[in-house]
Amino acid sequence: GQQLNQSPQSMFIQEGEDVSMNCTSSSIFNTWLWYKQDPGEGPVLLIALYKAGELTSNGRLTAQFGITRKDSFLNISASIPSDVGIYFCAGQGGKLIFGQGTELSVKP
Q: Which residues bind another protein (CB under 8 A)?
A: 30-31, 33, 35, 40-45, 48, 88, 92-96, 98-101
In terms of CB distance, is 41 or 59 closer to another protein?
A: 41
In terms of CB distance, is 95 or 107 closer to another protein?
A: 95
9 and 105 in contact (C-beta within 8 Å)? no
Q: How far is the CB of 18 from another protein (least distance, A)?
A: 25
In terms of CB distance, is 28 or 78 closer to another protein?
A: 28
34 and 87 in contact (C-beta within 8 Å)? yes
Q: How far is the CB of 81 from another protein (least distance, A)?
A: 22
85 and 75 in contact (C-beta within 8 Å)? no
What phi and psi values does residue 35 have, to the nearest 5 degrees?
-120, 155
61 and 75 in contact (C-beta within 8 Å)? yes
Q: How far is the CB of 97 from another protein (least distance, A)?
A: 8
| Nearest CA among 29, 9, 20 for reference residue 71 | 29
In terms of CB distance, is 5 or 105 closer to another protein?
A: 5
